[in-house]
Structures are given as C-alpha cells and as structure tokens.
Structure 1
Amino acid sequence: MRNDLLAWPGSAAYQAATTPRNSSVTQQPAVVARPQSAGEAAEAVRWAADRNLGVAVQATGHGAGAPIGPHRVLVDTAALDTVSIDAGARLARVGAGTTWSALNSRAQRDGLFGLAGSSPTVSVAGYTFGGGVGWLTHPYGMASSALVAVDYIDGDGRLRRATEDAPNPVDRAALWAFRGGGGVGIATSLTLDLVAPQAVWAGYQLWDITALRPVAEAWAQAMSDIGDALSTHISVVHTPPDWPFPTRLRGVPIVHLAFASPAGPDAAAPLLRALRGAPPPVLDSAWAPADAARLAQIHLDPPNPTPVLGTGRWLSATTPKLAADVLDTAAAPDSPTTMIELRNVGTPAPARDGALTKAPGPFVLHAVGRVTDPDSRAATENGLTRVREAAESADIGQAAASFAQGRAKVADALPPVAGQRLVRLQTAIDPERRLTPSRILAALTGA
C-alpha cells in the first residue's frame, strides 16, 4: 500500500476530503483513502472489508447528503481526474473525479462538448449517474444516455467493467444502473459520448424582484415557440451582499433568466421577443457566442461551499401556467427558500436503455434553502413544502433525485419496476452491503 494512500483524522488531507461542496452534513470517517488509480481504489475497499468497515465515495461533494461516521472509510476519488478524448469517435474517457470544466475545456479544442450541468465544479461521474440535466439536454438528451462504459469496483474490492456487451450479465446490468439510477459499486472511470454543436450561444439577464411576474409571463409565453434547441433556467435567487453586480441586486431576492443553445443566435429569438413586454433587465450579459467556460458561468453558482437542503421534481407541460406562482414562493426577503428555478428539459433525442435516460417530464423544478442548524433546517423544509404545494398540479409524481441536495434518501425517483431491478442488482454486486448506496438505493433498501 502506498504510504500516503490513507489520510487520518487531524491531517490536512483528511480535512480537505471531508469538507464537501454541500457542507450541510458532517463527515467523520475512520480514515480517508485517496487513490490515484483504480487499483488503489480497489485496495482501499479490500482494506475496509478486512476491518469490517463500510465504504463511502466522494469526489467534489456537490451530492453530499448523508453523514459519514467512524464506521466507514471515505474513498476520495478527486485524484482520479484523467481526461482522454477520441475526437474521431466523439468519445471521452475520464476518471471518476474529473469535473465538467476539466472535460469540456479539453473537448472544445476538437469542437466537442460533453453534456455538462450548470455548475463547472460538479464531477462528471456523480452528475451522469444521477441522470444529468444541463444546458445541452435540450436538444441532445440527458448525460446518462451518453454513457457508454463504466469501470467500477464491487463490494469485495474487485475491478469490473460495465458495458452493453460485457461477458457477465451483472456487468451489463450495472451499466443500466449507472445510467441515471445513481449507480452501483464504486466507479473509477467513465466513457461517454460527446456532441459537436453547430454554434453554442448563451446569455443571462437579471431583474429586481418587482419584475418577477412580467418576466415569468414572458418566459411562459415563449415556451411554446422555442422549439428543441433552447434551454432556459428561470429562477428567483437570494443574492449575497458582496455579489459582484449592481448594488440594487445585492443581498436581496432577484429574478435570474439564463438561456443557452447549440444552434446559433436565432434559437433565442422567441424568448427575446417575449421579453420585450417585460421591464428591461438591470443587467444583461448579452446573448452571444459561448465557449465551455462561458456556458459554465451563466447559472451564477456560488463560488464557495454552501450548506443547503434541496428538492427536485419532474413537472408536466402545464408548468408555464404556474411559473409565476411557483417562483413567488421564494420572493419574500425572509423566505427560507433561497433559490428556486424552473428548467425546460424536454427533448426529442433518442435515449439508451437505462434506469433514467430520458426526462420523465418536460420541465424540472429545483429549489434549495440554507441550513446551518436545526432551526434553519426546519424552516427550509417548510419553505420547500410550500414550493412543492405551489407546483403540485404540474407534478408528475416523480422526484428529480440529483437536485435533492443534502438528503440521504429520495423515495420516488424511479418507477417501482426500475427500483426493484436496482435493488436486485445492488445485492448481486455488494451482497454484504459494504458500500454506501446512492440516495435512490438508500430509500429503496432502507439503508
């Protein structure tokens, strides 16, 4: 074993690994393993098994939701960050710790993009295994459907490879699980399709909160006309006091509309026309050509780790009619819901077989609130309940689990048949239940 593979409590490496991007949960594992190869990751799992310890895995910690106690080893995959591009085949092979910014900054040299999310610091692995909804979902589909292969480790510390033509039927089924079911085992690398957009354009606009209803109504009006090539996020965001934008937008709830397309400048024409009936924005970033870096900036994600609790729900085609009322639940200055957004995600793109490879609904709702203590957690839960109630008539009855930040379990993320298949597969790959399950599996198994 490499001398510095394990980091113990009190060390700087341990502290760094146990400070997730979502800092709303406590992480105090027995030890942190920091593998630099798939073999070392497998060695860490076997080391834990020999000591009757469970194993949790984490890269960036955006998806942190369950506390990690002293009965587990935390495998930090951040150093598994290699990126290899096959431009001719439009394929990328990346380590499980690779972030989307690292992948797309390399892929765009060949005119290619991965189906990234709205945050550049999210890992490719966790995002893809949860389904993957981002700026190119409309029209290319979910990131999970672009997944071709996964190298992973089972509960006994054995190296395995999940592909559609794997000799072992369990490994073939494992690929199905990694495609949107949260995955099984511990992934060490992924192979996924890239796309070659015609011309990526992006932009965003900001208003003070008094413009919420006219902006939401303009967005709703445009939804029937934008076609398959424009992705939008309309949100109410409570900004920090030190936000680097005009004074009137700092430390208050504001309206944020971001939009992007891989099909050039004309894709946003219906939305921009509709917005002429709304007040002019306080800040307009301009609808303009975008590289991978600009595409990753328009969502305005906070730069620092933030303790939040979230909810995500798939919504029906009636969502635009409810948009103003749903967003208004976060409009008050004292609202415990500090960000609420609606995204259009419907796509005609074909989807590969997987647990979740096609958006169940044409819209998705995402909301979060800050949690720093039991009182703020209770207030945020109440706020998120009000959000869900406002959207109830459009709710199709299925959670968008990857948006449920700060949660260890999400109960209704998959249809029952898919959930049962996922549980059977977990039993085959990890019969001792040594590996900490995804929030989807945790809900299904009662872990």
Structure 2
Amino acid sequence: MIDQLPAQFTFRPGDPGYAEELAGFQTGFTLRPGLIVGATDADEVRAAVVFAAARGLPVAVQATGHGLAGPAEGGVLISTRRMDDVRIDAAAGTARIGAGVRWGQVVEASAAHGLAPLNGSAPSVGAVSYTLGGGLGVLGRTFGYAADRVRSLDVVTADARLRHVTPEKEPELFWALLGGGHRLGVVTALEIGLVPVARVYGGSIAFDGADGEAASDVLRTYLEWTRTVPDALTSSVAALPYPDIPQLPEALRGRYVISVRVAYTGSAAEGERLVAPLRAIGPSLADSLREMPYTDSHTIHSDPPFPHAYYGDSAMLSGLDAERALRALELTGPKAPMMTVVQINHLGGALDAEPPVPTAVPYRDAAFLLRLLSPLDGTGVAAVRALYAQVSSVLEPLAVGRSLNFSFGGGDRTGGLHDERTRKRLAGLVSQYDPASLFGGVYEGE
C-alpha cells in the first residue's frame, strides 16, 4: 500500500504555491484545506486517500474550480489539474480523458477526426466533473447527457483501491458515479463515446429586453417555438443586464438583453428555415446564427472566460408557461437588487430517452431547466438567496428538482439534487464504498 505523499506538488497553508494551487474559476468562496496534493497520476491520488483515511480527514477534489470542491476545510484537497491527458481512438469513436482535462481540449482533439464530445458550453470547464454531474451539453437534445456516453471510469475509492468500473464490472458503482458526483471516490479518468459531428448551424440572436412588450414577445414566441423543433436542435433563452464597458459590442453595452441560443446538427439551409420564427419577432440587437465548425461551438453561449465570484442555482421544471417565465424575468431584471443572469434550457429529445446504460442522472422527463446566476462582487449571498426564493415561489408548482451541474456556491443546500428513490440507492452505496464518509457523501435526505 502506498504510504507516502508525492513531494513535488504537496502544499500546506503558508507554503509557497499554496494559494496558486488552491485558486480556481470560482473566486467567491474560499476553502482552507490543511493539505493540497497536486496529483499527477492515479497512484498519487491513492497516496492522498491513504493519508487522509489514516487521519480521519475529509477528502475533496478540484480540477478547474468552477464549482466548490467539497468538504475540504482542514482536510485534504486533491488537485487533478495536471492529469490532463487526452487520447482519441478514432476507429472506436472514443476518447480517454484524465481528471484534469478541460472540455476545450477534448473538442480540439476530437475535431481532428471529425468527431465531437458531448461538452458543455464553456471550454474551460473540467470535462470529468461536468460528466459526473450528468453533463447537459450543447447538443443535449440530439445525443443526451454526457454521462450517457461514458464507457468506463477509473476511480479511487475510500479503501484506496484503483478500480476500473464498467457497466459489466461493478454496475452499481458505475450507475452511482454518473449523476452522483464526487461523493463515492476520486475519478482519475473516463473513457467516453464521441459523436460524428464536425459542423453545426448555430449562434444566438439578441433582442432588447428593456421593453416589457418586446420581452413578452420573445418569451412567448420561444416557448411556442420549442414545441415545433426537431430533436436535432438544442436551444436556450437567456436574459441579462449587460454592463456598459468597452469590452462588449456597442450594440449590447448597458442594455438588458434577451438572447436565444441555438445548436442544430442538420443543414444550414434547414437551420435557416427553423429559426425564421425567431427572426420574425422583430429587430435584433445582434444575430450570429450561422454554420460553424464544431470547434467554434463555444461562441454560441460566449460564457465568461475569466475567474470571478458568483452564486447560482437551478430548477428542473415539468413545463413552463410564459406568465411564470415573465414573472421570473421581472424579479431578476434591471430593477432587481443585484445583477442576475436567467437561462432557460429546452430539454426533452434524447435527454428524455432511456440511456444505453442506466445512470443516476435524475429528472430525465423534465421539459425545461431554469438557471439563475449572480455575480457576488459587492453582493452578499443572503441577498441573492432571498431573491432566488422569490423566483422559486413562482416556479414551485412546476419544479421537480435541481441540477447538480448548476448549483454554484450552495454546498449547504443539497435538497432536490436527486429524487427520493435515487437518493436512497446512492446512500446505500455510500455505506458500502465509503462508510466513514471520507468524501462527505451522505445522500440520505440530502
């Protein structure tokens, strides 16, 4: 058994490099682990788990730091950013990705073979963590969740064993890891299936949302439009007040903007036909709808690439009507006490289909996902939560749960991330694989 920590990338508070190793994309919530292990391979992950288990210390994992790493205060944080190997098997249509790999790396490596992963909208997000949370991607309605394409996982469990987990070998652990997150071990690598996509028709079309009537037209048209589009088209609508800064296009500066984002795997000509009802809404502030190489798919959403402080939450919805959607925008719009981004993702299609192999990804029959995200610069979490509570009260009749991928900064709020049946099954597996809760994973009751 490994009983020594790697010396090269091991940091304690006060050590040179500790703060740099701890830094991640999320800057609004600071952790203070007693030890950071910058692992370079699975053996070093095992060594960190042995060290923590022997001392009864909690273990958390961080790759890119977009979400909170877990119960790391005074414990051991395993930083996986150096485990960033990507290997493509073009003949098999698969990729093997290390725990620290970012989606942008997988997109670029796959594109060389005319393939694509089921990545999220931001190229800087860690691919493994995103997939363990389910992974609602740019092409979700066409191909399902990223978790649905996982072939195998390498994971270090609480007993410091490195397990190669497949649907045939340890099917219960395979089920739980995909949709259950990091609470059953440290995943060191995934093998994922890729899809034969080299180009998409997509982009966004932005409207001035300051006019209440115009905002109503956009939302009503969008929600009606989602009833008509094929599964080959994945879309969302987002509303946010843009700051008046020179880094933004002049047409968007200082405006409250409602944008419809589109990704379509069919022809550009058919894409143009499908988006015609959106263009008919009225004059747009910006329109980037076009055919593009899949390597440009991140421009559809243009998520911020720089680290910042934020809080976010989400609601999986059985349906959505324009009145409730408009009320959510009224609460979070320009007159709100803090800047809030609202995004409504159209679900269904392959996301609602039976996956090739069962996973713990919940709420597959949800029709929409509503996401809220607020910068924390000068704004306290309590004020943000108070605003979100008002939005939740509007959505409550339609809400079936929350999304693990889109719960930012709410580590003490785990309710609703899984349905009751899934929670109980996950709790039983925690008792089996991590009885001492080394990874902080008590699912029962959440």
TM-score by structure 1 length?
0.91
Q: Which amino acid aligns with 2:234?
A: S
1:276 aligns with 2:279: yes
Q: 1:267, 1:57 → 2: CA distance?
A: 44
- Contact in 2 for aligned 1:226/1:268 (Cα 8 Å): no
Q: 1:422, 1:124 → 2: CA distance?
A: 22
CA RMSD of aligned residues (A): 2.2
1:356 aligns with 2:358: no
Q: 1:12, 1:256 → 2: CA distance?
A: 44
Q: Which amino acid aligns with 2:368?
A: F
- Contact in 1 for aligned 2:233/2:263 (Cα 8 Å): yes
In structure 2, the CA distance between the partners of 1:49 and 1:67, relative to structure 1 (3 Å rule), is: closer
Cα deviation for residue 110 of structure 1 reads 0.8
- Contact in 1 for aligned 2:198/2:293 (Cα 8 Å): no
The residue number in structure 2 matching 1:260 is: 263
Q: Which runs of 5+ in 2 are unaligned?
A: none
For 1:39, what is the secondary structure of its paired residue?
helix
Q: Which of 345, 349, 368 is residue 373 of structure 2 equivalent to?
A: 368
Q: How does 1:106-121 map to 2 (within 5 A)?
A: 106-121=109-124
The residue number in structure 1 matching 2:327 is: 325
Q: 1:271, 1:390 → 2: CA distance?
A: 31
Q: 2:279, 2:56 → 1: CA distance?
A: 63
- Contact in 1 for aligned 2:203/2:301 (Cα 8 Å): no
For 1:234, what is the secondary structure of its paired residue?
strand
In structure 2, the CA distance between the partners of 1:176 and 1:27, relative to structure 1 (3 Å rule), is: same
For 2:444, what is the secondary structure of its paired residue?
helix
Q: Give a deviation string over 1:40-98, Cα, whole Å, max 9, x none.
A: 1111111222333221111111121756322x010001111111111111111100111
- Contact in 1 for aligned 2:199/2:294 (Cα 8 Å): no
Q: How does 1:66-145 map to 2 (within 5 A)?
A: 66=70, 68-70=72-74, 72-145=75-148
- Contact in 2 for aligned 1:206/1:281 (Cα 8 Å): yes
The residue number in structure 2 matching 1:386 is: 390
For 1:50, what is the secondary structure of its paired residue?
helix
1:289 aligns with 2:292: yes
Q: Which of 4, 7, 13 is residue 8 of structure 2 equivalent to?
A: 4
Cα deviation for residue 445 of structure 1 reads 6.2
Q: 1:208, 1:66 → 2: CA distance?
A: 39
The residue number in structure 1 matching 2:204 is: 204
Q: Which of 415, 418, 424 is residue 422 of structure 2 equivalent to?
A: 418
1:56 aligns with 2:55: no
Cα deviation for residue 164 of structure 1 reads 1.2
Q: 1:271, 1:328 → 2: CA distance?
A: 29
Q: 1:124, 1:426 → 2: CA distance?
A: 23
In structure 2, the CA distance between the partners of 1:79 and 1:359, relative to structure 1 (3 Å rule), is: same
Q: Which runs of 5+ in 1 are unaligned?
A: none
The residue number in structure 2 matching 1:174 is: 173
Q: 1:238, 1:18 → 2: CA distance?
A: 31
In structure 2, the CA distance between the partners of 1:198 and 1:3, relative to structure 1 (3 Å rule), is: closer
Q: Which amino acid aligns with 1:194?
A: L
Q: Which of 212, 231, 235 is residue 234 of structure 2 equivalent to?
A: 231
In structure 2, the CA distance between the partners of 1:401 and 1:188, relative to structure 1 (3 Å rule), is: same
Q: Which of 31, 37, 49 is residue 41 of structure 2 equivalent to?
A: 37
Q: Which of 346, 369, 377 is residue 348 of structure 2 equivalent to?
A: 346
Cα deviation for residue 116 of structure 1 reads 0.6
For 2:17, what is the secondary structure of its paired residue?
helix
- Contact in 1 for aligned 2:93/2:193 (Cα 8 Å): yes
Q: Which amino acid aligns with 2:191?
A: T
For 1:327, what is the secondary structure of its paired residue?
helix
Cα deviation for residue 339 of structure 1 reads 0.4
Length, aligned pairs only: 434
Cα deviation for residue 20 of structure 1 reads 2.4
Q: 2:417, 2:174 → 1: CA distance?
A: 18
Q: 1:192, 1:215 → 2: CA distance?
A: 37
1:308 aligns with 2:273: no
Q: Give a deviation string over 1:196-236, Cα, whole Å, max 9, x none.
A: 13741221122332342222222123112111111112111
In structure 2, the CA distance between the partners of 1:394 and 1:217, relative to structure 1 (3 Å rule), is: same
- Contact in 1 for aligned 2:107/2:116 (Cα 8 Å): yes
Q: 1:11, 1:238 → 2: CA distance?
A: 41
- Contact in 2 for aligned 1:209/1:254 (Cα 8 Å): yes
- Contact in 1 for aligned 2:115/2:198 (Cα 8 Å): no
Q: 1:66, 1:153 → 2: CA distance?
A: 16
For 1:247, what is the secondary structure of its paired residue?
coil
Q: 2:436, 2:328 → 1: CA distance?
A: 44
Cα deviation for residue 237 of structure 1 reads 1.6
